[in-house]
Structure 1
Amino acid sequence: MIDRYAELLSAHILAKSGEMTREPVGILRHPFLVPSSPDSPYYSGHLWDWDSWWVSVVLAQVEVETGQPGRYAQHEEGSILNFLDHSTDGFVPIQLNPEGSLRHGDFGSDEEYARRQNTHKPVLVQHAALLAGRRGDAEWLRPHLGKLEAFLTGYLIRHLHADTGLLYWQTDFAVGVDNDPSVYYRPAKSTAAIYLNSLMYRELLAYGELLERLGEAKESVRWRRRAQDLADAINLHCWDERDGTFYSADLALRPVDPADWLHSGAPRAWSSLLLRIDSWSSFLPMWAGFASQEQAERMVERIRDPRTFAANYGIRSLSRLEKMYDLRASNNPSNWLGPVWGISNYMVFRGLVKYGFTEDARDLAEKTVRLFGHDLETTGCLHEFYHPDNGEPIMTRNFQNWNFLVLQMIAFLAGRPMATEF
């Protein structure tokens, strides 16, 4: 059955990958990528931040499978250039559409909005590094280095918690894992999400790689050191030795007031608290590569546990033991309170491969092939997220995007070359 589903999915993805490309329209002056086919009711016409990056990862495997390098180069590079066209002082929109950008809240001027609201997730440089590596050429990015560096610097100014060295979300708007309880409905600037910090670690490394490709060795080292500084901060403040996993950190602590007699005898000596909420994001340090082997071994025990994350069709997006666990359909926010997502299955799978847990990676890949293969055979398309136990689709027909990363999993299972992130 796995082989039949793998063949069915491969044929479908190779035939449908072009449906995620769009031509210039409105304020989008360059060709670009979208998460879904034109038949999707939600995502068919908008350029999204981390979605466009993952579509490029998919297309890297499509190029390998078809032997057509550069087939979608204009749309991939154009996605980055469209975002850079609309960057201001390092602030880059989360989403662009032909008429404008997705915004939430009225914070007055554009400058004030940028200071108080979330920007493009830290995957813009990773996207650029991915394309530079595949093409063997980074020169097309040289004119844009200033904007890419401003993007990173903006994060390190506007999102950095000085006491811990961790990065926080400004609000719970468009954080990717929409209703993650460690972020959703929490106070502004209060969560140093393990998801955000894991992405940022890779983003800083990606900029170091780009600079090296462009002959800027000294600057490359400086940015790679910043990545290591962030990894050290994450290990210090987000690793829980008791539970054997990483958590997001709570930054919502009152400042220490040395004049306050009530606390003067023993003022607070800690700069954050662990948010012990069991989300799939806790495994992202394995995907990012800064977890130690010993930490990875402890986290794998949790990945294997059917009481918490392990399910018939992959990894639950929230532990089944959490009180917030909920499998109901939702959109804006999409539901990450337990359903299985293609992207969480893939990123956990990549972490397992990276740390040598080959059998666990194979098991997760096979579960994902069964999930998507059965859906495609039954409904003729794929969906956005799924019931973890019975595999039934919950929301959004014709969602493509990171679901097509199953093509990488199929290559892994078959022992063929697997295209990866930068």
Structure 2
Amino acid sequence: MALPNVWGGGASFAFSALDGNNIYNEAISANLLSDRLGLGFNTALKAYLYIAFENVSDIIFEVVSSDLIKASIVANDGSISSAEFIFVRQNAVLVRRLKAYKLKCVFDGDVEYIRKGNTEIYTGENGTFALYSEENEAYRVSAFACGKNAPADAEEAFTTEVNREISGKLDFFAKLPIVEDMPKNISAIFGKSMSVLKSLAYSADGSFNGMWCTPSRLNGEKMSPFCTAMCAYSMRCISPDLAKQCLMSALDLQDENGFIPSSATPDFKGENIEPPILAYQTLQLFKSQGDISILSESFEKLKKYLNYIIETRACEDKMLFEWKIRISETENRCEESRMDSSPRFDGISKIYAIDFSCCMANEAKALSEIAEILGKAGEHLYWSVIYDRIKDAANRYLYDEDDGFYYDRCAATDKLIKVKTPASLLPLFAGFCDKKRADSIITKHLFNTDEFFTPFPVPSLAKNEEKFDGSIHRGAAHPYFAYFTALALLDYGYKKEAQKVMADVVSNIARQYENSGVLYEFYDSRSVVSPSKIKCSGEAPFAYIPEIKRVNIRDYGVTAAVFAEIIMMLCRM
């Protein structure tokens, strides 16, 4: 397999629970710096660790992954030496470089500095850091640690054998599935995707009985059941046990009444929900692994979850479903839908949501199939009926014959909200359409270059909508929209069209990765603007400073998962 080797400012660098203890409130993470060979740590007291060069003509990267940076440094005289950064503990990084090259450690804030033998200790109001170093004839190795026991942790991390650690990190890539007949650069991005997914894993802790994951390693990022379901399925390529534990971790959060929150940490639970996808992804994981325990251990909890949603979010007289909408908000009106600032929610307090209804129907269909596999005939029939009821309601109340398209319906006016978003394509994914209706949606809307067939397909708002501006929920392309669309096209027999959508997603992500070295949360659907400059809320800042303002997340787990799945699907075609 080709190894990922593109340096990118903001790329994630973190330890994984697959390699040792990785506790949410103790583990640190970093992002690659844009202007030097080094790391910016996501700690309360911001720390920067980088190698300062003199008389260097080039840096050639061999590996740039989530926990290993390996580079060849070309001096002006033509001599070549190596430099490595390796995450070896949840709070410690090893750095090896030529003795002539200095390792710099700087902070955003005042620190007290003392030196004790080989250990340099930096203490600030918001944290303690330590740097332990030794050298031989040519190279100098340093261990950098953060935490209340930083000096001891740095000295312990230093005892790690560097070459063995590097070998172990590289062995991770050797064990991944081979993506046959793919260009070298695509194979490398597949490896990058798997590396990102690996970095998301935390150890069992608090509410979580096994390994669990967050959508990214940004400091403080919380667990999301939707993102967990997406990431866990692709994690099977790394470890079936990791995939199962992470998927089950979402169910660990369940309250007695069936509620599963949209965000959580080991000691925190949010109050909202997310688009339900846990039953569907559980079924997919079973089909790929054949482990019946995945189904038997999750069935009752999944059933309880869906019943909770039916009891609390189904409309009074229709089997359709409602998101919570915060009418007073301007940029985060419907966070539950994952389309926070979409114009479909502008000026509206209550809707019968097409995406929520499709997700619930798809979950009911999946749970019905799970029940059948487990030999629960009554449950199989019951959830099949629930699916049919949602499908019938959506086709009756949320479809517009004139436009040949599905929409949300406003509860107050009982009128369709004619705003075209990817939510209106989900009836294809849920199987609501007969062949004639599906053909019409696909030809009239999906493959319409004025609507959803943009250079990066399936924008978050149709291109010809008045409020399209290319921002996060008003025109940017989120890869998972295209992924679900491609799956729907395959279900309806549109193989070539599905391949086209997937190929466009791959080419766009690949181009931006080669330019920036990262996998973004969302992209410019017009393929003109760098993803780093797309608006989230307000203007995107020039620098990658997520703690100051919401920005396009680098090395986003869902994008990594979607890219990996699409590559494997294309390999099978």
- The question of a shared fold, defined as TM-score above 0.5 by the shorter chain, is answered with yes
The 3-state SS of whatever aligns with 1:249 is strand
The answer on whether the counterparts of 1:238 and 1:274 sit within 8 Å (CA) in structure 2 is yes
Q: Residues 17-416 of structure 1 correspond to what in structure 2 (within 5 A)?
A: 17-36=197-216, 38=217, 40=218, 43=221, 46-60=222-236, 62=237, 70-84=240-254, 87-103=255-271, 118-139=272-293, 142=296, 145-171=299-325, 172-183=334-345, 186-187=348-349, 190-253=350-413, 272-301=414-443, 302-328=445-471, 335-390=472-527, 392-393=530-531, 394=534, 395-415=552-572
Cα 1:72–1:397 shift into 2, 3 Å: same
Cα distance in 2 for partners of 1:183, 1:300 equals: 24
CA positional deviation for 1:370:
1.1
- Cα deviation, residue 9, structure 1: 1.7
Deviation of residue 30 (structure 1)? 2.6
Unaligned stretches of 5+ residues in structure 1: 104-117, 254-271, 329-334, 417-422
How far does residue 285 in structure 1 lie from its aligned partner after superposition?
A: 1.1
Query: Residue 81 of structure 1: CA displacement?
Result: 3.4
| Contact 1:342/1:403, CA 8 A, preserved across alignment | no
- Residue 184 of structure 1 deviates from its aligned partner by 5.3
TM-score computed with the length of structure 1 as normaliser = 0.79
Tell me, yes or no, if the aligned pair for 2:341 and 2:473 is still in contact at 8 Å. yes
Using structure 2 for the length normalisation, give the TM-score.
0.59
Of the two structures, which has the highest relative contact order with CA contacts closer than 8 Å and spacing of 6 or more? 1
C-alpha distance in 2 between matches for 1:206 and 1:371: 32
- Normalized per residue, the structure richer in strand is 2
Q: Cα 1:52–1:77, aligned 2, differ >3 Å: closer, same or farther?
A: closer
What is the DSSP-based 3-state SS (H/G/I as helix, E as strand, rest coil) of the residue aligned with 2:226?
Answer: helix
- Residue by residue over 1:37-81, the C-alpha shift from the partner in whole angstroms, topping out at 9 and shown as x without a partner, is x3x3573xx210211111123224x26xxxx6x242453244233
| Structure 1 position 228, deviation (Å) | 0.8
Q: Is the 8 A contact 2:458 2:482 kept in 1?
A: yes
Report the alpha carbon displacement of residue 144 of structure 1 after superposing the two structures with TM.
5.5
**1:279-323 C-alpha deviation (Å, 9 max, x unpaired):** 111111111222111111111121111112221122211012222
Taking the aligned partners of 1:291 and 1:130, their CA distance within structure 2 comes to 22
Work out whether residues 454 and 526 of structure 2, in 8 Å CA contact, stay in contact via their aligned partners in 1. yes
Aligned equivalents of 1:319 and 1:140: distance in 2? 38
In 2, Cα distance between equivalents of 1:205 and 1:342:
24
Root-mean-square deviation over aligned CA pairs: 2.4
| In 1: Cα distance, 2:470 partner to 2:515 partner | 21
- What residue identity is the alignment partner of 1:183? F
Query: Using the alignment, how far apart are the partners of 1:415 and 1:251 within structure 2?
Result: 44
CA distance in 1, matches of 2:460, 2:391: 23
Q: Is the 8 A contact 1:22 1:75 kept in 2?
A: no
Match of 2:396, SS? Answer: helix
SS class of match (2:345) = coil
Aligned amino acid, residue 274 of structure 1: L
Residues 78, 57 of structure 1: CA spacing in aligned structure 2 closer, same or farther, 3 A cutoff?
Answer: closer
Q: Relative to 1, partners in 2 of residues 1:246 and 1:17: Cα closer, same or farther, differing over 3 Å?
A: same
Q: Amino acid of the residue matched to residue 33 of structure 1?
A: C
Q: Secondary structure at the match of 1:386?
A: coil
Q: Which amino acid aligns with 2:566?
A: M
Gaps of 5+ in 2: 1-180, 326-333, 535-551
Q: Aligned in 2, Cα 1:414/1:326: closer, same or farther, shift over 3 Å?
A: same
Higher-Rg structure is 2
Alpha-carbon shift at residue 120 of structure 1 (Å): 4.2
Percent of aligned pairs with the same residue?
A: 21
